[in-house]
Amino acid sequence: MNHLTVKYNELSAEEFIYLWKSVWDGAPSLEQTALAMQNTLFRISVFDGQEIVAMARMIGDMGLNYYIKDVVVKPEYQHKGIGKMLIDELMKFVRDHGIKGTTIFVELCAMPDKIPFYEKQGFSANEAQRLKLMCEVK
Ligand X SMILES: CC(C)(COP(=O)(O)OP(=O)(O)OC[C@H]1O[C@@H](n2cnc3c(N)ncnc32)[C@H](O)[C@@H]1OP(=O)(O)O)[C@@H](O)C(=O)NCCC(=O)NCCS
Task: Return residues touching ligand X (CB under 6 A).
Answer: 23, 71-73, 78-84, 110, 113-114, 116-117, 120
CB count within 10 Å of CB 20 equals: 17
Rg from Cα positions in the chain: 15
Identity of the residue, 96 or 113, whose beta carbon is nearer to ligand X in the bound complex? 113
CA 2 to CA 95: how far, in whole Å? 30
Identity of the residue, 13 or 72, whose beta carbon is nearer to ligand X in the bound complex? 72
Minimum separation from the CB atom of position 96 to ligand X (A): 21
Identity of the residue, 63 or 88, whose beta carbon is nearer to ligand X in the bound complex? 88
Q: In the beta sheet, which residues pair with residue 44?
A: 8, 56
Minimum separation from the CB atom of position 117 to ligand X (A): 4
Which residue has its beta carbon closest to ligand X?
A: 83
Identity of the residue, 21 or 120, whose beta carbon is nearer to ligand X in the bound complex? 120
Minimum separation from the CB atom of position 100 to ligand X (A): 29
Nearest to 56, CA basis, from 44, 48, 67: 44
Minimum separation from the CB atom of position 23 to ligand X (A): 4
Nearest to 48, CA basis, from 76, 8, 17, 14: 76
Minimum separation from the CB atom of position 113 to ligand X (A): 5
Identity of the residue, 101 or 122, whose beta carbon is nearer to ligand X in the bound complex? 122
Run of H or E including 35? helix 30-38
CB 89 within 8 A of CB 56: yes
